[in-house]
Homo-oligomer: A and B are copies of this chain.
């Protein structure tokens, strides 16, 4: 049985490098198939990628989706996952799945939460009930969910935060990371409780926008040892300069042979910046959330289909896109559906947006393999200049 200590069986292999940037193509073995990186994970926070079915995600070529232990712990709760044998069966998803611990979401509940070294007290955002979770509990629950990648519970700080506060949160994140690893090892070594031998465990780097804290956080987590490393606590309001500075510090202090995951980033151009730093995994609510607002991503920029100017346009969202929305439906029809608040409208815009993000990643991988990633990135940056 593989544990996170047996590095001899590193499930991550680097296949190809770009030359001018740190971008790389990797293959990550999971219990639900091999993931090609860089990889974007559509967000299925509550056990569903909003508005899409699992069949549609598969058709779109999604390799791995993200879900959230915090949300699923509160609703539907543990018992149903014991009954059906995990989140894959529950949501009928056959691909890979990463579950976030929910640290970020719980910290967003301030002032309804209280943190101690032992764990986190908070009030449920659903029914106001009092809850208490520990790093161990979150690991146990993700084990029950049977995700392919589990994340440790971490403490996020808001931006801006003072050095002392950031340092304290980082220190606690490290204590929790150690405890999470210990609990994960205990469970995976206990045959009776092992339901998914291949589950991977990722640590989460904190340290705000302080370069030295970020470096310290990377080194501490690497010393504990994880299957992969996430860069947390960014894209929370800091400038793009600070985002990329902090990300670059982390990318530079994390082991090159492990997958790196930049949490919650972001716009297409931001994902490409991350890839150039050697980041392998990304997630973001933008394609789904913007879709529900009528905003669609195209190679000519972001269009808001609620705008009356699309009411008579008989062409698809994007010429050449092979998604179901673009193959069958006009901008005018989507405008009508959004205007009339018809569910099919947000279904189709969401489907197109997820398709756009997955295509972006496929194109990025091809560009890396052909050692022309900077050209591709520049092309997308020109897109941004046209549509800031």
Expressed in whole angstroms, the minimum distance between the Cβ of A177 and any Cβ of chain B is 30
| A75-B329 in contact (CB<8A) | no
**Chain A stretch 329-380: residues in CB contact (< 8 A) with chain B:** 329-330, 332-333, 335-337, 339-340, 342-344, 346-348
Expressed in whole angstroms, the minimum distance between the Cβ of A107 and any Cβ of chain B is 21
| B346-A80 in contact (CB<8A) | no
Take A50-B343, A343-B343 as given contacts and tell me if A83 and B328 are in contact as well, using a CB distance cutoff of 8 Å: no
| B47-A312 in contact (CB<8A) | no
Mark the stretch among A52-60, A115-123, A185-193, A219-227 that contacts chain B: A52-60
With an 8 A cutoff between CB atoms, is A76 at the interface?
Answer: yes
**Chain B residues whose CB sits within 8 angstroms of the CB of A15 once the complex forms:** none
**Chain A stretch 88-138: residues in CB contact (< 8 A) with chain B:** 90-92
**Chain B residues whose CB sits within 8 angstroms of the CB of A79 once the complex forms:** 312
| A342-B76 in contact (CB<8A) | no
| A46-B343 in contact (CB<8A) | no
| A311-B53 in contact (CB<8A) | no
Which A positions have Cβ atoms within 8 angstroms of B?
46-48, 50-55, 75-76, 79-80, 83-84, 90-92, 311-312, 314, 324, 328-330, 332-333, 335-337, 339-340, 342-344, 346-348
Take A52-B344, A340-B75 as given contacts and tell me if A91 and B312 are in contact as well, using a CB distance cutoff of 8 Å: no
* Nearest neighbor of A71 in chain B, beta-carbon distance: B340
> By DSSP majority rule, is chain A's interface helix, strand, loop, or mixed?
helix
A343 in complex: contacting residue of B90, B314, B346, CB < 8 Å: B346
Enumerate 7 A-B pairs (CB-CB under 8 Å) in ascending A order: A46-B340, A48-B344, A51-B344, A80-B336, A83-B332, A84-B332, A91-B333
Residue from the set A52, A91, A335 with the largest chain B CB neighbour count within 10 Å = A91
| B339-A76 in contact (CB<8A) | yes
Expressed in whole angstroms, the minimum distance between the Cβ of A155 and any Cβ of chain B is 26
Take A75-B340, A90-B330, A339-B76 as given contacts and tell me if A53 and B324 are in contact as well, using a CB distance cutoff of 8 Å: yes
Take A46-B342, A50-B342, A90-B332 as given contacts and tell me if A324 and B84 are in contact as well, using a CB distance cutoff of 8 Å: no
**Chain B residues whose CB sits within 8 angstroms of the CB of A330 once the complex forms:** 84, 90
**Chain B residues whose CB sits within 8 angstroms of the CB of A314 once the complex forms:** 80, 83-84
Expressed in whole angstroms, the minimum distance between the Cβ of A79 and any Cβ of chain B is 6
A80 in complex: contacting residue of B48, B54, B76, B312, CB < 8 Å: B312
Pairs A-B, 9 closest by C-beta atoms: A92-B328, A76-B336, A51-B343, A48-B344, A84-B314, A46-B340, A48-B342, A80-B332, A83-B314
**Chain B residues whose CB sits within 8 angstroms of the CB of A46 once the complex forms:** 336, 340, 342
The docked-state distance in angstroms from the alpha carbon of A75 to that of B335 is 11
Residue from the set A48, A79, A92, A324 with the largest chain B CB neighbour count within 10 Å = A48
A76 in complex: contacting residue of B50, B83, B311, B343, CB < 8 Å: B311
Residue from the set A80, A84, A92, A335 with the largest chain B CB neighbour count within 10 Å = A80
**Chain B residues whose CB sits within 8 angstroms of the CB of A55 once the complex forms:** 324, 328
Expressed in whole angstroms, the minimum distance between the Cβ of A38 and any Cβ of chain B is 27
**Chain B residues whose CB sits within 8 angstroms of the CB of A311 once the complex forms:** 76, 80
| A83-B53 in contact (CB<8A) | no
* Nearest neighbor of A54 in chain B, beta-carbon distance: B328
**Chain B residues whose CB sits within 8 angstroms of the CB of A332 once the complex forms:** 76, 80, 83-84, 90
Residue from the set A55, A76, A79 with the largest chain B CB neighbour count within 10 Å = A76
**Chain B residues whose CB sits within 8 angstroms of the CB of A80 once the complex forms:** 311-312, 314, 332, 336
* Nearest neighbor of A341 in chain B, beta-carbon distance: B46
